[in-house]
Structure 1
Amino acid sequence: QHRNTKQEVLTEILQRLVEEGHEEASEPGFADELRAHFARLPTRYASDVRKDRAQVVLIHKKMLEEAENPKNLPVLYVRAVSVRIACLPDASSMNSSPADSPSYSPSHSPPAFEGRLFTPTSSMCSTYVNTIRISIVDAIETLHCSPRIGDMQMHEVTFSTVDKPKLLSKLSTILADVNLHVWEAHIFSTIDGYSLDVFVVYGWHTENIKDLEQALRNSVACMEEGVWLRSSPSTSPSVSPSSSPDSIIAPQAGTNGWKIPLDAPDDWEIDSSQLKRIKKILPSSNGDIYRGTFCGQDVAIKVIKPETWTEHLQEFVHEIAIMRKVRHKNIVQFIGACTTPPDLCIVTEYMSGGTVHDYLQKQKGNLHLYVLLRIALDIAKGMDYLHQNNIIHRDLKASSLLMDENGVVKVADFGVARIQDQDGIMTAETGTYRWMAPEVLGHSHYDQKADVFSFGVLLWELLTKKVPYELMTPFQVAVGVLQEELRPTIPQDAHPKFSQLLEWCWRTNPADRPDFSEITLVLKDIMSEV
């Protein structure tokens, strides 16, 4: 099927705006402005936007322009929409399609983007479809809709603001504050640092758009001051000292370096002149990873990009704090770090086998169960060690694991790991949505059992060699896991005990999940049968 190019969509939108009588569309230079609007957004914006909703594109353009003024943040727009339901609870009662029904007359225009979340042709897991049907039943009872023709009245809420870490969390909190449920979400980041986030939601008790908009603005007003503003640029990193002994880097007056109040820092502080970069091997969230040498030894060098210092310095700080504390055969070995600008980097042993994700993609078929179990056991042993030392990894997935030349798997990527507080609970959201535990997604208190949930999804990743929920956007996954108890579908031919382990790891109640010492015993038991 032909997918229109960005230029084709631009031409059609411009033509429609002229035909619909929008005065600015006929003004000199408008075509260039519209072209710039599409250019700053990803290609999927053009491919997903409904071509018959040209006016909405114009609204998006204006919202992004308004977002450039900090006084306007976040820019908010609400409108009522009619969503055509393609996956109703009782499909047998719908013998005719909505388009064929003479009574089909949606009271509002459709959403701005083509919805893909609930369609009969989707190959999403059956568990999710079933739970979504239940939510549709609940929605039908509270919203103006006709089950026979599949027309449900909802609202489309659009935000535009500065693109920042954890932005989705803030926006979803605003929606939840007014009891809105996300039906679908379309998240876009511009090339110049802004965001356009479009949510189709249900749950508002009236059709009054002004009341909903005011409720959302009231929720926005409750956010802490400055939360929407862009982080101020800095020529050098600066982190305020914390009461926590692991918030370790603080600027020293009159110097370009840091004092790192740890025992015997000379044991791990590295002179950057002793490092030699050979080849870039991986990008990371806050820099690039190189293969290199240190005093003749093969090493991996994670270089922190200067332009990310302001945003990612704390991750750099914590990664050093965590890695210097641990030593285990299934944990990537920390060698040292450079903490003097401009050469901020972390040096670890070089893992020639690459990531487990890369290893999976190179295999022609599914892994033999024994190989899978050996990999899983290595990970479980490393994680058991971390948890015994009160360390929560918080981002466990195949791309966070490395293999050495002998196939031994080691846990890596400690940028978002944390030492658990004495009270045993944490609340900050972090990690990757597809692997994230529901209590983390919901900003609830969480502990080490959040890693166990991620490990369960990781086991499924090893079993299938697929990305979890690959046909869904990360935000759709978050909504499904949190609100509908969405889980990946376990292949029917999986080993029964292995299937049981997956289901045990991703139970909704963290207290019902095993710890890694129990997981290790189960894996060994299954290995003895293979």
Structure 2
Amino acid sequence: MSPRSPDDSPPLGFASLRAPSKLKINTRASSWPRTNLDSGPARVAAPEILERWTVDRSELLIGHRFASGAYSRLFHGIYKDQPVAVKFIRQPDDGEDDELSAKLDKQFTSEVTILARLQHRNVIKLVGACNCPTVFCVITEFLSGGSLRAFLRKLERETLPLEKVISIALDIARGLEYIHLQGIVHRDIKPENILFDGEFCAKVVDFGVACEEKYCNLLGDDPGTYRWMAPEMYKHKPYGRKVDVYSFGLVLWELVTGSLPYQDMTPLQAAFAVVNKVCVLF
């Protein structure tokens, strides 16, 4: 058996499904960060919400890594005998990058407090969260059907039956409608952030850059993914929930055609083409 990469192992202090843990595990987070969201009721509520959703780490077992991002790794897990997905967000070492550390802290706090408010068939369900030195952990239901991106890749540009397109589209639309009714803007709708459960029900996931709609324009950040980002976000103009509708439109385009507008361009070139209304013949 080949040796595992350190990235394939859970952070120190988390019990593994692969071998009995000899570590003494603190069952509660030692202390939650007192980081405030920029404004609004969440400023007061965030620490209380985080405390309420803190998991008992003695009942959390970590399995194999199945995905990773720039600052996060996702693992299979078991919590209270139920399958879960566990996202670990590792902060930079002390003093290494204070700005990035603050940004990740804020995104983690925002993601947990937003997910705690959402209960819908087409939105991923929060199970819990925890905080230990240098690592944040977000635990959600495990969705065994994979991502819409993986599903589309397997099709290899074959046309989906119209009934299947409509079924997937309605699931996403219902999830987005619910999210927007709660006053939330997702800001990163794309096929990678749509997952299926075992019954092929599509759910909106990954609320790491989501925000309350009334405060989106006060945050001053640059979230999302260029290829699916609405023009007003590129231009740093005021925006709201319609940016999710724009991204959803691109997801629909790919569902129907098997390709994306400006697919042969880099993400930055595609962004430039969208902003400048460049016409490309298909």
What band does the TM-score fall into relative to the shorter chain?
A: 0.7 to 0.9
**1:372 and 2:158 are equivalent in the alignment:** no
Q: Given that residues 319 and 416 in structure 1 are in contact (C-alpha distance below 8 angstroms), is that contact kept between their aligned partners in structure 2? A: yes
1:281 to 66, 82, 101: 66
1:314 to 106, 117, 120: 106
TM normalised by structure 1 equals: 0.43
Which residue of the partner structure matches residue 447 of structure 1?
A: 240
Which residue of the partner structure matches residue 121 of structure 1?
A: none
1:149-170 CA-to-partner distances (Å, cap 9, x unmatched) read: xxxxxxxxxxxxxxxxxxxxxx
Distance 1:485 1:471, change over 3 A: closer
CA drift of 1:340 comes to 3.2
CA drift of 1:286 comes to 2.4
Alpha-carbon distance in structure 2 between the residues aligned to 1:455 and 1:488: 22
Which residue of the partner structure matches residue 40 of structure 2?
A: 244
Which residue of the partner structure matches residue 136 of structure 2?
A: 344
**1:420 and 2:213 are equivalent in the alignment:** yes
2:146 to 354, 357, 381: 354
Alpha-carbon distance in structure 1 between the residues aligned to 2:163 and 2:232: 32
Alpha-carbon distance in structure 2 between the residues aligned to 1:484 and 1:242: 34
Question: What letter corresponds to residue 454 of structure 1 in structure 2?
Answer: S
Distance 1:478 1:486, change over 3 A: farther
CA drift of 1:267 comes to 3.7
Alpha-carbon distance in structure 2 between the residues aligned to 1:432 and 1:405: 27
Q: Given that residues 428 and 443 in structure 1 are in contact (C-alpha distance below 8 angstroms), is that contact kept between their aligned partners in structure 2? A: no
Within 5 Å, which residues of 2 pair with 1:182-331?
A: 239=35, 242-247=38-43, 260-262=46-48, 265-307=50-92, 309-331=101-123
Which residue of the partner structure matches residue 97 of structure 2?
A: none
Alpha-carbon distance in structure 1 between the residues aligned to 2:85 and 2:44: 23
1:434 to 193, 208, 227: 227
2:42 aligns to what SS in structure 1?
Answer: coil
CA drift of 1:266 comes to 4.8
Q: Given that residues 460 and 488 in structure 1 are in contact (C-alpha distance below 8 angstroms), is that contact kept between their aligned partners in structure 2? A: no
Question: What letter corresponds to residue 288 of structure 1 in structure 2?
Answer: R
Question: What letter corresponds to residue 344 of structure 1 in structure 2?
Answer: F
Which residue of the partner structure matches residue 124 of structure 2?
A: 332
Question: What letter corresponds to residue 372 of structure 1 in structure 2?
Answer: V
Distance 1:488 1:302, change over 3 A: farther
2:105 aligns to what SS in structure 1?
Answer: helix
Question: What letter corresponds to residue 315 of structure 1 in structure 2?
Answer: Q
Question: What letter corresponds to residue 246 of structure 1 in structure 2?
Answer: A
Q: Given that residues 428 and 440 in structure 1 are in contact (C-alpha distance below 8 angstroms), is that contact kept between their aligned partners in structure 2? A: no
CA drift of 1:349 comes to 0.2
Tell me which of the two structures has the higher relative contact order, counting C-alpha pairs closer than 8 angstroms and 6 or more residues apart: 2
Distance 1:388 1:349, change over 3 A: same
Question: What letter corresponds to residue 339 of structure 1 in structure 2?
Answer: N
Distance 1:322 1:393, change over 3 A: same
Alpha-carbon distance in structure 2 between the residues aligned to 1:241 and 1:453: 26
Which residue of the partner structure matches residue 459 of structure 1?
A: 252
Which residue of the partner structure matches residue 398 of structure 1?
A: 191
Q: Given that residues 355 and 401 in structure 1 are in contact (C-alpha distance below 8 angstroms), is that contact kept between their aligned partners in structure 2? A: yes
CA drift of 1:344 comes to 1.4
CA drift of 1:484 comes to 2.2
Tell me how large the CA RMSD over aligned residues is: 2.6
Q: Given that residues 74 and 87 in structure 2 are in contact (C-alpha distance below 8 angstroms), is that contact kept between their aligned partners in structure 1? A: yes
1:430 aligns to what SS in structure 2?
Answer: coil
2:171 aligns to what SS in structure 1?
Answer: helix
Q: Given that residues 74 and 88 in structure 2 are in contact (C-alpha distance below 8 angstroms), is that contact kept between their aligned partners in structure 1? A: yes
Which residue of the partner structure matches residue 174 of structure 1?
A: none
Distance 1:394 1:339, change over 3 A: same
Q: Given that residues 268 and 336 in structure 1 are in contact (C-alpha distance below 8 angstroms), is that contact kept between their aligned partners in structure 2? A: yes
Alpha-carbon distance in structure 2 between the residues aligned to 1:437 and 1:291: 33
Q: What residue ranges of structure 1 are gaps of 5+ in the alignment?
A: 1-235, 250-259, 490-530
1:282 aligns to what SS in structure 2?
Answer: strand
Distance 1:349 1:362, change over 3 A: same
Q: Given that residues 328 and 385 in structure 1 are in contact (C-alpha distance below 8 angstroms), is that contact kept between their aligned partners in structure 2? A: yes
Deviating beyond 4 angstroms after TM superposition, the runs of 4 or more aligned structure 1 residues are 424-428, 485-489
1:261 aligns to what SS in structure 2?
Answer: helix
Distance 1:439 1:349, change over 3 A: same
Within 5 Å, which residues of 2 pair with 1:43-54?
A: none
Distance 1:291 1:346, change over 3 A: same
Which residue of the partner structure matches residue 181 of structure 2?
A: 388
Within 5 Å, which residues of 2 pair with 1:56-205?
A: none
Alpha-carbon distance in structure 2 between the residues aligned to 1:304 and 1:244: 25
Q: What residue ranges of structure 2 are gaps of 5+ in the alignment?
A: 1-31, 93-99
1:136-156 CA-to-partner distances (Å, cap 9, x unmatched) read: xxxxxxxxxxxxxxxxxxxxx
Alpha-carbon distance in structure 1 between the residues aligned to 2:206 and 2:120: 15
CA drift of 1:343 comes to 4.2
Q: Given that residues 318 and 415 in structure 1 are in contact (C-alpha distance below 8 angstroms), is that contact kept between their aligned partners in structure 2? A: yes
Question: What letter corresponds to residue 162 of structure 2 in structure 1?
Answer: L
1:421 aligns to what SS in structure 2?
Answer: helix
Alpha-carbon distance in structure 1 between the residues aligned to 2:280 and 2:211: 26
Distance 1:487 1:425, change over 3 A: farther
Q: Given that residues 112 and 129 in structure 2 are in contact (C-alpha distance below 8 angstroms), is that contact kept between their aligned partners in structure 1? A: yes
Distance 1:487 1:433, change over 3 A: farther
Which residue of the partner structure matches residue 125 of structure 1?
A: none
Question: What letter corresponds to residue 205 of structure 2 in structure 1?
Answer: A
